[in-house]
Chains A and B, each alone.
Chain A
Amino acid sequence: MSVMEQDSAGAPARASLLNDPKVRGIFYQLVLIVALVAFGYFIVTNTIHNLEQQNIASGWGFLENTAGFGTNQSLVEYSETSSYGRAIYVGFLNTLLVAGVGIFFATLIGFIVGIARLSNNWVINRIAYCYVELVRNIPLLLQIFFWYFAVLRSIPGKREKWSIFDTFHLNIGGLRLPKPIWEPGSFMIGIALVIAIAASIVVSRWARKRQEATGQQFPMFWTAVGLIIGLPVITYLVTGMPMHLEHPNFVETGPILRQGFELNVGINVIPEFLALTAALSIYTASFIAEIVRAGIQAVSHGQTEAAHALGLRNGPTLRLVVIPQAMRVIIPPLTSQYLNLTKNSSLAVAIAYPDLVSMGGTVLNQTGQAIEIIGIWMAVYLSLSLLTSAFMNWYNQRMALVER
């Protein structure tokens, strides 16, 4: 312990340079940098050499070449003559679509099951428990296969259908929905919606101010619902109904090959999308349910009792006391589940739903530009994940306990 020894002057003896933590630290870091640079150099030179051998020109030029393959779902205009870049963009939008819809349903199912898990009713409680344990212990890919190959194969064929309210039709070709057709003048409805939202915000501010000043409450929720639904509906009627629904057309007569749904009438949700959304949202919901349960249980019972002692009923207790505190615990793991769902949507490639990985994979097979394609994938998913964690940090800061 040379540091402990002191020389006659009272100053601590200098340790050997080899034992100085600072020097050692710098040394280790230098070694790491050198190793990384050498490793990177090794990889880059090998890659360049291998690419030259295979006659693959690296670079982004290939994105402008004609793709030459079609897709069964596209949110933007896309055809076989579009470019590779366009194909990847279509895939990206499809990923966002399935992730968005999946997140919506996963949250819905997850919250219902999570609350059911806390129910005093034994039957409901057990059903929720079995759901959670069963679903989260079976691989997602197996569930996707189950929905796509087992469930969707047992629904009616192309020339039959199941209908609900004569509006939603399901058969092996997917789900058919009525399509809203916007006519000139329909922009007024959009304007009405914007005005309604703005008005709700203004009224809610006023209501809060009034409650803080006088204690009087205002039925804000119903006012907002009325405004946001009512105003566009009134506009729709007043402007002479400039929008109508285009119902899917089911042909039952004529030559057998012509029977079934007419193409490009109404909205067609492809079966791959249905299977993927079902599997993703049911799988993720089982994790969200556990998060919700843990979050609600994390709010101590004293909070509920105190709220009751203040005279709040069950509804307001839940809405004003328990849920805001539970959300603080729920939101961070919930966001990471959303992120997992988005990443898991890449399993789409197994059932050929045209998502980012699926479309990119086709481009990769056609062009051989492995590095660029995998680079795009990773960049997209990484930036989604970084954006999500940025949002989570912002939210955590906002929601963190403000202590006096």
Chain B
Amino acid sequence: MSDTQMFQIRTEEAPRLPAPISTTGVIGWMRQNLFSSIGNTVLTVIGILIAYSLIAPFIQFAFIDAVWTGDNREACLAQDGGHSGACWAYVEAYFPQFIYGRYPTEEIWRVNIVYALFLLLLVPLAIPSAPFKKANAILFLVVFPIVAYFLLTGLVIGDTVVLPIVETAVWGGLLVTLVIAVTGIVASLPLGIALALGRRSKMPIIKLVSIIFIEFWRGVPLITVLFMSSVMLPLFLPEGVTFDKLLRVLIGVTLFSAAYMAEVVRGGLQAIPKGQYEGAMALGLRFWPMMYLIILPQALKLVIPGIVNTFIGLFKDTTLVLIVGMFDLLGQIQSSFTDPTWSTPSTGHTGYLFAAMVFFCFCFGMSRYSIFMEKKLHTGHKR
């Protein structure tokens, strides 16, 4: 028996440790995401400074210093003659022009009907769970363009004027932007599908022609295409045949976007498993029924995000038509700067801000939709 203890019994309390650093709640989140290390803290501070130096002047310009009402430039001029805030009164005064161009005021209801019909048909088409997709698609892609054409340009049967003719030269603003973008995409879809099928064809000449067509249009900038359609197209036609300027631009834009569409559709065709082709052939389907009934419905569904992205690109590219002398939304805004009634130092900034907001709302909305569709489509097909 000895006094040496082979074990130890703690008789007094161990020193208390501080509680671990919180990783939950606002403080914890900030500690983890903003101030986890010295370098990170520096980045946070720099980031906040950058954000502040950009956002503060913007809010100052767009809201605090902004002039919301007024009849002419006097309202928007700064007292000291320098820069004042945004001149929203000018946008308000020009708003009809930005939306309809110089479309005759008494006929604007026709444009409004087209806008309404467009929304009415597009919204249910875009919602995946809405019923009657096929009827809706036919209405949107076939019936709507015809109705819209007559509503916008006018309709004369024999000698009776049902709807007075409105020259495309007076169209402008958002109307032209939408007409070019929507027509470009709707018309390029069938052409793009045909080219995509041609590029995957086993017939060498058809394949070669498709490849040359696609690579040619994809290789040149849109601006040269627009120059071509406005300068060269009249040379190609027999004497005396003339095209409307808008129509010429539309032809150029359609051919251009068809090449991009073809590549998008080709991606979809390649994603369809070979078994689908073989299954269709085993059922005795020929080429066109196979494509129409089996392959294209699946492939086109897969490439909806791609089509939406092409549309976004085209929508942004429609601004280029102002270079060949047409007045789309940006062109209309740009031309309004020459109006002495509203010329102030801040008119230009306000106009560009307005254009940027409109384009951003459209494009950002569409890209969100494309991401939503992508997520929705990628549930069952992942392997």
The interface of chain A, by Cβ under 8 A from chain B, is 1, 25, 28-29, 32-33, 36, 43, 46-47, 49-51, 53, 119-124, 127, 133-134, 136-142, 145-146, 149-150, 153-154, 343-344, 346-347, 349-350, 357, 361, 364, 370-371, 374, 377-378, 381-382, 385-386
Q: Which B residues are in CB contact (< 8 Å) with A120?
A: 33, 36, 40
- Complex partner residue of A374 from B51, B222, B224, B284, CB under 8 angstroms: B224
Is there contact, CB below 8 Å, between A142 and B330?
yes
* B109-117, B200-208, B243-251: which lies at the interface: B200-208
- Complex partner residue of A46 from B235, B316, B348, B360, CB under 8 angstroms: B235
- Complex partner residue of B47 from A1, A127, A134, CB under 8 angstroms: A127
Is there contact, CB below 8 Å, between B223 and A374?
no
Q: Closest residue to A43 on the B side, CB-wise? A: B236
- Best-buried of A133, A378, A386 by chain B (most CB within 10 Å): A378
B257 to chain A, nearest CB (A): 14
C-alpha gap A122/B47 in the complex (Å):
10
Question: In the complex, which residues 194-226 of chain B have their Cβ closer than 8 Å to any Cβ of chain A?
Answer: 202-206, 209, 215-216, 218-224
Question: In the complex, which residues 337-383 of chain B have their Cβ closer than 8 Å to any Cβ of chain A?
Answer: 348-349, 352, 355-356, 359-360, 363-364, 367
Is there contact, CB below 8 Å, between A123 and B47?
yes
Is there contact, CB below 8 Å, between A32 and B206?
yes
Q: Which A residues are in CB contact (< 8 Å) with B203?
A: 25, 28-29
Is there contact, CB below 8 Å, between B202 and A349?
no
Whether B237 sits at the interface, judged by CB under 8 Å, is yes
Whether B9 sits at the interface, judged by CB under 8 Å, is no
The interface of chain B, by Cβ under 8 A from chain A, is 33-34, 36, 40, 43-44, 47-48, 50-51, 83, 202-206, 209, 215-216, 218-224, 227-228, 231-232, 234-239, 284, 312, 316-317, 319-320, 322-323, 330, 334, 348-349, 352, 355-356, 359-360, 363-364, 367
Interface SS, B side: helix
C-alpha gap A27/B356 in the complex (Å):
52
> 8 A-B contacts, Cβ less than 8 Å apart?
A32-B205, A46-B237, A47-B235, A124-B47, A138-B316, A344-B221, A357-B221, A370-B231
Q: Which B residues are in CB contact (< 8 Å) with A123?
A: 34, 43-44, 47-48, 51
C-alpha gap A382/B223 in the complex (Å):
14
Q: Which B residues are in CB contact (< 8 Å) with A36?
A: 209
Interface SS, A side: helix
Q: Which B residues are in CB contact (< 8 Å) with A154?
A: 83
Is there contact, CB below 8 Å, between B236 and A47?
yes
Is there contact, CB below 8 Å, between A150 and B349?
yes
B173 to chain A, nearest CB (A): 14
